[in-house]
Amino acid sequence: MSNPASPPAVGVLDDRPPLTFPPGFLWGAATAAYQIEGAAAEGGRTPSIWDTFSHTPGRVVEGHTGDVACDHYHRLGADVALMAELGLKSYRFSVSWPRVQPGGTGPANAEGLDFYRRLVDELLSHGIEPWLTLYHWDLPQPLEDAGGWPARDTAARFADYTTLVADALGDRVRYWTTLNEPWCSAFLGYGSGAHAPGRSDGAEAVRAGHHLMLGHGLAVRALRAARPTAEVGVTVNLYPVDPAGDAPADVDAARRIDGLANRFFLDPLLRGSYPADLMADLAGVTDFGHVRDGDLATISTPLDMVGVNYYSRHVVAAPVPGAEPEPYWRAPSCWPGSEDVRFVTRGVPVTDMNWEIDAPGLVETLRRVHEQYTDLPLYVTENGSAFVDEVVDGQVDDVDRLAYFDAHLRAAHEAIEAGVPLRGYFAWSLMDNFEWAWGYTKRFGMVHVDYDSQVRIPKSSARWYAEVIRRNGLAAQ
């Protein structure tokens, strides 16, 4: 491992017993194509909505773009070797739709598929299980020009693209995720406009959410047809949602936000229906006329597993006139029909994203999915934190991130002890990268990236995580 950081001299594990995870627990790390690959106009790749968005002045902090990012496209071999040195058992990556199918329609781009063939082969040669995500927000720009996710046809195009990837990689890839965080794609991309494509319309956001899930269901069926032995799932970002107080108005505010953040996706995907109270909340936004006969049966096509991305908790309260505006990712239009609900901060420690650190919320979230929705295997497909890191004498001692991982892995173990069929954990992220609308100003990685030199430096958290993997658990110090 190049430039190894010293083991952390912090006592985050002191005076607590060691915890061992079940045999075969899948330890991994995750990334996304637009955030790390670079080579934005190489190998036949054409623009995605994030290329367009990031090149639009004022959309991304400091005008940053993913044109180069971490240059993973050219550093594939060295990056996989680094994963192996960290002991990763699995690597969750996404395929760039416009790299594989320029324009979002038509035949596959052979050069684009070859990149992912090399990546999968390299992973397997190092004993690392590939975990492929088909869509992590990089819709081909021509499909957006034709209407984007609010347009029903985009779901069908997604199924076609899925077949191309499955035919090329399905003989070597066992685990497949259709969508990553459809809430973000729908409600940040088409609601608040804080993410690509930057549109702001509540009704379009709701339609986009439905068509994303429809595309998911069609993609599951396409994968089953092309690769019957594939293990297929979806990844949703979930939050515990609590009322700020006992007042009925606060309790109702929590119900409303829980409906939009969690049940909007969990219920159609795992129950085959939309919650009646959610539909009533959205009556002033949409009549759900975009939902056609058979859609919900397609959306709820049986899965093999469910991925859960967890970062924080929402605490909300009833509206108060003149309340301060919310941070951009909680902008009112992220919550159509519930724009005036207030998000309350509790004065607890936060990450550099200003997200409250709440490890017990991971236990609550995993138990809820298992106890209320499904007996399917669950995976934490993202969990991590941004902090301000400093390189000192060639090392990065990221004690806050290390403590975050420790607390959340203990929460994951608690969930297993409570009966949750949790089968794996993917740290977000393997390396610092393009953090969407925040550009390169926020660092989530276990590996530090110098964006000028592209030098990688494993942080203290990376070495600590490598030891967790080696032990298959958390050891007291």
What residues act catalytically? 181, 382
DSSP-based helix, strand, coil % in the chain, nearest 5: 40, 15, 45
| Whether 314 contacts 334, CB under 8 Å | no
CA separation for the pair 182, 156 (Å, rounded): 16
Per-residue CA distances from 337 to 253, 269, 284, 416 (Å):
11, 22, 7, 36
Q: Tokens 């190489």 map to which residue?
A: 42
Which one-letter amino acid corresponds to residue 75?
R
Helices (H), 388-471: 399-417, 460-471
Residue by residue, DSSP assigns 251-287 as HHHHHHHHIIIIIHHHHHHHHSS--HHHHHHTTTT--
SS (HEC) of 296-348: HHHHCCCCCEEEEECCCCEEEECCCCCCCCCCHHHCHHHCCCCCCCEECCCCC
CB neighbourhood size of 107 (10 A): 8
Which one-letter amino acid corresponds to residue 181?
E
